[in-house]
Amino acid sequence: MKTLSKIGFTLIIFLISSNTLLAQQKAPDASFKAGKKTIQLSRFQGKKRILWLFSTWCPSCAVGLQSLSKKQPELLKHGVYVIALRNYNNGGYPGLSGTINTFIKKFLKNPELLKEKNWTFGEAGKALENKYNPHTYPDIFFLINKKGEIVRKGTSLGAQMDKIMSFTKASTTN
């Protein structure tokens, strides 16, 4: 029984650590919908970006939206783009009519964020979801440097704001 517990504990530690940090893996290209437009992630090549996949029914996603929006002046100052995408099929649950606008109005109460030049809101397609969120986590993010490398992957964006802001403030060549 002790061996089984150790194996289980080791597996949990491995999953947590592999879920939060990647070794400069190249971010795969994929497309998403923003309104009626289809946009390729490669459009943001050469820019530091946060790719965030969320579900509108998810409480930690609401906190993440509020926390990240408060950092907008710093994000803009450091040239960081936020690509906030509702999970494909909203992770399988309807939640708040499933719309991004409803989610923003309910939890942020600042629809102006929809107009910020460094924020893009959209819907992940199945292909993007398969590449970035195959386990359908309701709240997962990727920090991608200017070279197009994933430098960090994590869940619960709002709870990891210190790591996100360290990435934001890192050298402009990263």
Rg (CA), the chain: 16
127 is a domain residue: yes
The number of distinct structural domains making up the chain is: 1
Residue 8, CA distances (Å) to 11, 14, 19 in order:
5, 10, 16
**pLDDT at position 93 over 60:** yes
User: What pLDDT is stored for residue 15 in this prediction?
Assistant: 45
6 is a domain residue: no
| Model confidence pLDDT, tens digit, residues 42-84 | 999 999 999 999 998 888 999 999 999 999 999 999 999 999 9
* Domain extent at residue 91: 23-169
CATH of the domain at 153: 3.40.30.10
32 is a domain residue: yes
4 is a domain residue: no
Q: Compute the half-sphere exposure of residue 17: CA atoms within 13 Å on the CB side of its CA.
A: 7
pLDDT band at 97; cut points 50, 70, 90: low
**pLDDT at position 111 over 80:** no
85 is a domain residue: yes
Contact 100, 107 (CB under 8 A): no
User: Which residues lie closer than 8 Å to 127 by C-beta, 6 or more apart?
Assistant: 30, 31
What is the Cα–Cα distance from 58 to 94, expressed in whole angstroms? Answer: 11
What is the Cα–Cα distance from 162 to 140, expressed in whole angstroms? Answer: 16
pTM, to two decimals? 0.83
What is the Cα–Cα distance from 21 to 122, expressed in whole angstroms? Answer: 25
**Residue 35: exposure state from Cβ atoms within 10 A (0-12, 13-18, ≥19):** exposed
**pLDDT at position 16 over 70:** no
Looking at per-residue pLDDT, the higher value among 49 and 9 belongs to: 49
Placement of tokens 């029914």 in the chain: 57
**pLDDT at position 13 over 60:** no
pLDDT band at 174; cut points 50, 70, 90: low
13 is a domain residue: no
